[in-house]
Structure 1
Amino acid sequence: MNKPVAVMDLGTNTFHLLIAEGKGADYKEILHLQDAVKLGEGGINKGLIQPAAFERGIIAMQNFAAHIAANGAEKVKAIATSALRGAANGQDFINEVKAKANINIEIINGDEEAAYIYKGVKAADCLTDKNSLIVDIGGGSVEFIICNQDEIKWKQSFEIGAARLMDMFHKNDPIPPESITALQLYLQDRLTPFFAAAKNYTIAHIIGSSGVFESYAGIIEINKGKLFDLKKTPYYLFEKDQLLTLIESIILSSHQQRLGNKAIIPVRVDMIVTASILTRFIIEKLDINKIAMSTNSLKEGIMADLLG
């Protein structure tokens, strides 16, 4: 019997631990933990992990190490993305995790991150022979992947994640109209290579990879009075008008209103605003009608890769 495998996705907001066993994309999940470490808090655009966030990260990794040992996982892969990529003290964090939790962290670049996200979404059987655009909105970076079930046609990572945008543009709550305008002008400028590439392909649908798209699906289903379980909803198809109406209400909402919404996890309560402005901007610029959510993302791509 193959031993379980452990994968860690150390994001700007959330650290994930996934322990599973099996073969390839058809694996059985043993444990999935997420810890709202907020590694980028207070320092994401300064390129520095702040002391409190640094300490939270170390504690989370020690906790993960205990679970890995308890489950007898032998193959272990810890992947760090935008927050650690851009932090001057990122190597200090890696060294301390090695010393205190005996876990080796590997920093990947945006291109590698996009490739793993593609593998994760592909493993969920969300892709067809038509072109899709996978959008993965993280705290530090956003990945855009134009692809089909056979190959990646174009991919790029941009350091414009929701935590970075929040730090720059969401200083008052609710976010004022002039801040929304400024944010959209910033996106127009930063995403020039993406919009130029998108013109070269007929894109049938947008697939939002986990994150904020999970919140949208949860809010819509709970508003209908239905129970919503992400574990039982690996793929979700939105009605475009319904999604855009929801996004508008999120953008206009106050912190208290978002805090009271059970479908929005605490770490996402404020970041969902800038993430929603970005989501709407992409949908409207590309004028694509079919929009879906896949719960699979980076960690599932790494897991599928590790299990062959």
Structure 2
Amino acid sequence: MEKIASIDIGSNTLRLLLAEKTGEKFRALFRDREIVRLGRNFYPDRLLSAQAIKAALMVLKRFKVRAEHEGVAQFRVVGTGVLREAENALFFIDQVTRETGVLVNIIHGLEEARIMAKGVLSIFPSTYGKTVIFDLGGGSTEFVFMNDGKMDERISLPLGVVGLTEKFLISNPPRSNELESLRVHCQNILKKNLAKNDRINNIIGTAGTVTTLAAIAKNLIVYDPDQINGTVLTKETLVELSNKILSLSFDQRAELKGLEPERSDIIGAGILLVLEIMIYFSQTVLLVSDAGLLEGLILDA
């Protein structure tokens, strides 16, 4: 039995999972996360701001202290979306190592997709037929195509809720022309990069936007991964949520049960992208997995 810490340094959120691993199984000991928004105002210069770096370092120090308190023997720390693009990513990584002693591995989008799928499949081990798994993050969205439980194809697309929000949804609440521009942009990226397949049997979503939508649909006051894993969201439910969320200001959205106030500005772009993905694959039902990259990192250790 080995204690492992997995940390995901994402474009929007920093997340921690401490777990005990025995063979091919693990038991979660502790979870933590904080929205830092490393990808805030990232474009066009592709630079992490000094403020975001400082905030991220503070969170990572806290994660390290908690992990050491639990007697963790191995750290698996990865950088995704925004760190793949940042001109000053190496500076950030050097700062993390200097101040925490932790090494950060910036992983390619295809590797992120592989590890993420491993985590999702720990919750949905018996996928049948053709299944699409997607991880909708702050800086990118990863897709994994499964066929009877075997991985067929992986792809990472530049569709992240932070970037989409800053580029398209300027008004608060967003105007109809902004929403339409975002929809068209998402449709074009999907059509250009993904093969159209109307024979998909299942679609599974993971990461903050998708799990938040499940939490809102369930009116969760306290977020609970066990209540999120396996949640079924219908297209009808998501359309209703979309109409409601997009009509509200950021402050009004922050009052919704299940929605972290720090996500109030980006949840609009997130739900629109989720719906466009479902429409593209002709799906009326979305399965939700809280498990994803963090769990995959533990299982892949």
Same fold by TM-score greater than 0.5: yes
Does 1:74 find its partner at 2:69?
no
- 2:276 is aligned to 281
The answer to whether the 8 A contact 2:238-2:271 is kept is no
Query: 2:201 and 2:187 mapped to 1: Cα distance?
Result: 22
* Residues 1:304 and 2:274 aligned together: no
Q: Is the 8 A contact 2:213 2:271 kept in 1?
A: no
Instruction: Name the residue aligned to 2:234.
Output: 239
Secondary structure in structure 2 of the residue aligned to 1:99: helix
Q: 1:25 to 1:289 in 2, by over 3 A?
A: farther
Spell out the pairing of 1:56-71 with structure 2 (5 A cutoff).
Answer: 56-71=55-70
Task: Pick one of 246, 261, 267 that aligns with 1:266.
Answer: 261
Distance in 1 separating the partners of 2:96 and 2:184: 39
Instruction: Name the structure 1 match of 2:210.
Output: 213
- Evaluate the alpha carbon distance shift between residue 228 and residue 69 of structure 1 in structure 2; reply closer, same or farther with a 3 A threshold: closer
Q: Does the 8 Å CA contact 1:136/1:142 hold for their aligned counterparts?
A: yes
- The whole-number CA distance in structure 2 between the counterparts of 1:300 and 1:162 is 22
Per the TM alignment, residue 292 of structure 1 is displaced from its structure 2 partner at its CA by 1.1
* Counterpart residue number, 2:98: 99
Aligned mate of 2:252, from 250, 257, 275: 257
Aligned equivalents of 1:178, 1:233: Cα separation in 2: 33
Change in CA separation of 1:76 and 1:149 when aligned onto 2, cut-off 3 Å? farther
Look up the match of 1:26. 25
Would the aligned equivalents of 1:136 and 1:144 in 2 still touch at CA under 8 Å?
A: yes
How far is the alpha carbon of 1:126 from its aligned partner?
A: 5.1
Q: Distance in 1 between matches of 2:264 and 2:157?
A: 22
Shift of 1:123: 1.1
Contact 2:2 2:22 (8 Å CA) reproduced: no
The answer to whether the Cα contact below 8 Å between 1:44 and 1:163 also exists between their aligned partners in 2 is no
Would you say the 8 A contact 2:6–2:76 is kept in 1?
yes
**Corresponding residue number in structure 2 for 1:48:** 47
SS of 2:121's partner is: helix
Contact 1:135 1:145 (C-alpha < 8 Å) held by counterparts: yes
Unaligned stretches of 5+ residues in structure 1? none
Displacement, 1:267? 2.7
| Alpha-carbon displacement from aligned partner over 1:125-183 (angstroms, at most 9, x marks no partner) | 25412211112110000112221452112221012200010110111011111111211
| Counterparts in 2 of 1:126 and 1:294: CA distance versus 1, 3 Å | farther
Separation in 2, partners of 1:56, 1:149: 43
8 A Cα contact 1:12 1:82, kept in partner: yes
Check conservation: 2:255, 2:261, Cα contact below 8 A: no
User: 1:233-267: CA deviations, max 9, x gaps?
Assistant: 42111233122211222223221221111311123
CA distance in 2, matches of 1:228, 1:85: 29
1:92-150, Cα deviation, whole Å (9 max, x unpaired): 01001111100000000111011111101111125412211112110000112221452
- Match among 284, 293, 301 for residue 288 of structure 2: 293
Q: Which residue of 1 aligns with 2:191?
A: 192
Percent of aligned pairs sharing the same letter: 27
The number of residues matched between the two structures is 301
Label 1:251 to 1:103 Cα distance change in 2 as closer, same or farther (>3 A).
same
Q: Secondary structure at the match of 2:219?
A: helix
- Matched-pair contact (CA < 8 Å) for 1:251–1:277: no
In structure 2, list runs of 5 or more residues that go unmatched: none
Could you state the TM-score of these two structures normalised by the residue count of structure 2?
0.94
1:204 to 194, 201, 204: 201
Q: What is the identity, as a one-letter code, of the residue corresponding to 2:282?
A: D
Checking the alignment, whether the CA contact within 8 Å between 2:131 and 2:203 is kept in structure 1 is: yes
